[in-house]
Amino acid sequence: MESLFLATRLMMVDLPGPTLDAASRAHLERYRFGGVCLFRRNIQSPAQVRELVAEIRAVLGPQAWIAIDQEGGAVQRVLEFALAPAPMALGAIGDAKVAEAVGAAVGRALISLGINWNFAPSVDVNTNPQNPVIGDRSFGADPRKVARLALAWARGLEGAGVMATVKHFPGHGDTVLDSHLDLPVVDKPLEALERTELYPFRKAVEAQISAIMSAHIRFPALDKRYPATLSKKILTHLLRQKLGFKGILVTDALDMKAITQHYSVGEAAVKSLQAGADMILSLGKPEVQASQAAAIRQALENGSLSREQARQSQQRLQEAAERFPGLARAYTPTQQKRDRALMERVALQSITPYRKPLRPRRSDRILVVSAGRATEAGPYGETLAVEDFLQLLKTRFAEVNSFVYDPQKAAEFTGELEKAATKADFLLLLSVGRGGLGPQEAHLLKHALTLGKRASHVALWNPYHILSLRKPAFVTYGFRTPTLKALVRVLAGAPAQGRLPFKLR
C-alpha cells in the first residue's frame, strides 16, 4: 500500500457534484489523493462549499489541497463573491497595484471557503489574435507587461493565503488550436521563445513563484517528440535545471484531448511524473483515476519512476501546504462590499475605446444587435447573458430593443435588420462569442453600419473582434456583471480610459 499512497499523493482529482456522495467518499477513502480540484458543478453557495471542503479534508487529511481555476473574467468558478475582471482588462489598465489589489480580493474570497490553491494567473503572452483558448485570459501581448501584472496579481493572491500558479509553461499564447480539443504545435526557434513565451516564466522563477502549470503543447525547438507536460527536456532540463525553478510543478488536466488522443491514461500519468511534474491533474471518471494510480504505482515498483523523485515531490507539496494551510478565514460583509466596489472601479477603468466610438443619447431609441440572448463558448461552459445587459441598459436609456440573429445564418437576417433599424436612432452592435467572427456575421455587422444610423460596435468578450470590423468600438474584455455595469456607465457618458493591451495588425 505504501507505493499506492506514494502514487496517489501526487494526484489531484475532481468530484461529480456539490456534495460528497457515498461513492465519491469511498473513492477518496480508498486512494487518499493529494487534493481535489473544484469546478462550477461543485458550487452552490459559500456555506455548501465550506461544508464540502471540510468533508474532503476529513477524508484526505488536513494537508489535502483544494484547488480551483479562478482567473477572473470568463474563467471563474466561484460567482457568489466579487467578480474579478479578466486579466486582459487589467492589461488595459496597466497598473501593477490594481492587479495586486484584484488578486488579493480573489484570494480573500477563496480562502474564506477553505480553497488554498488557485490555478492562476496565466502568464501566456497572447500574440496570436486567432488563439481560441487564451485571448482575454492573458494580460496582453507584451511579455514584460504580462510578467509585471501577473506577478503582482499572484502576490496579492498569496498575501491573502492562497497559493498562485503561473501557466501554461512554456507558453500557450501563440496557438491556433485549443489543447482541450487537439495537440497544438508552436514551431518557433529558441531565440523567439526566449524573447516572448519564456520571459514571464523566467521572471516568475526569479520571483520564487510557488507553482507552475505545464502546457499540453509541442515545442519542436525544445523537444521534437513530446508535448511539454510529458517532456523531461522541458520540465526538468529547462524549467528545473536551466531556469532554476524550485516550486511545485503541476500538469494541466490530463483528460484534455491534446493528451488523450495520443497517449493512454496510465502512460500519460507516468510520463508526466517522469518528466518532472510533482502533481498530475487527474480529472474524469473514478475508473480513469484508478487506472492512473495503478500505473504510477507499477512504475514506482518496477523502478521506471524514481521513488526518491516521488518523495521529493511529496516533500515540496507538504512544505507548500504548511505555507498555505487552507484554514478558512473570515470574510466580513464589510470587506465583501469593499471588494465588490473595487471590482466595479477596475471594470470601469478597463473599458477601452477604439477609433472614437459614438455614444447613444438618453432619448435615443436604441437597437441592440447581437447573436442571441445567450451564448456559450469555450471549454468551461461560460454563459454570456445578453439579456442581463439589456436590463442594465434600460436603467439609463429611455427605449431599448433587441435584434437577434443566428451567427451561422447571418446572411439571411439582412432584410429583417434593415427593417428593425428604421425604428431606431442608435444601433449598438454586440459581438458576443469567445471565438472569432465568421465571414457572414462580420458582413452583417458591417452592413448595419451602412444603414444611415448612429452606431457603435461593442466587443463584449473577444477583444480581437475589432480586427474583423475595424470600426469604432468599445472593448470590454468580458461580460461579468461589474463589466456590464461599467459598459452602461461609459455608454451614458463616463470616460473610457483603457488602452488596448495588444498591437493592431
Say whether 409 sits in a helix, a strand or coil: helix
Catalytic residue check, 180: yes
Q: Which residue pairs, CB below 8 angstroms and at least 24 apart, start in 198-203? A: 198/170, 198/171, 199/125, 199/143, 199/144, 199/147, 200/123, 200/125, 200/143, 200/146, 200/147, 200/150, 200/151, 200/166, 201/123, 201/166, 201/169, 201/170, 201/171, 201/239, 201/243, 202/243, 203/147, 203/151
Catalytic residue check, 252: yes
Enter the C-alpha cell of residue 284.
Answer: 474524469
- The C-alpha angle with vertex 251 and arms to 68 and 255, in degrees rounded to 5, equals 80
Residue 436 DSSP class: P
Of 44, 56, 63, nearest in space to 20 by CA: 56
Q: Phi-psi category of 39—alpha, beta or left, where left has phi over 0 and alpha has psi -120 to 50?
A: beta
**Is the dihedral angle over the CA atoms 75, 77, 79, 84 positive or is it negative?**
negative
Q: 180, 237, 262, 447: which one is catalytic? A: 180
Q: How far apart are the first and last CA of the chain?
A: 58
Say whether 75 sits in a helix, a strand or coil: strand
What is the CB-side half-sphere exposure of residue 277 using CA atoms within 13 A?
30
Locus of grid cell 488523450: 260
Enter the C-alpha cell of residue 448.
Answer: 448595419
Enter the C-alpha cell of residue 286.
Answer: 473514478
Q: 136, 174, 252, 255: which one is catalytic? A: 252
CA distance 483 to 193: 33
Of 183, 95, 120, nearest in space to 380 by CA: 120
Helices (H), 276-375: 286-302, 307-323, 333-350
Strands (E), 414-484: 426-431, 454-459, 473-475
One-letter-per-residue 3-state SS of 57-84: HHHHCCCCEEEECEEECCEECCCCCCCC
**Is the dihedral angle over the CA atoms 241, 242, 247, 252 positive or is it negative?**
negative
Say whether 432 sits in a helix, a strand or coil: coil
Residue 85 DSSP class: P
220-231 burial, b at 16+ Cβ within 10 Å, e below that, comes to eebbeebbbbbb
Q: Count of residues for the chain?
A: 505
CA distance 457 to 116: 40
Catalytic site positions: 180, 252
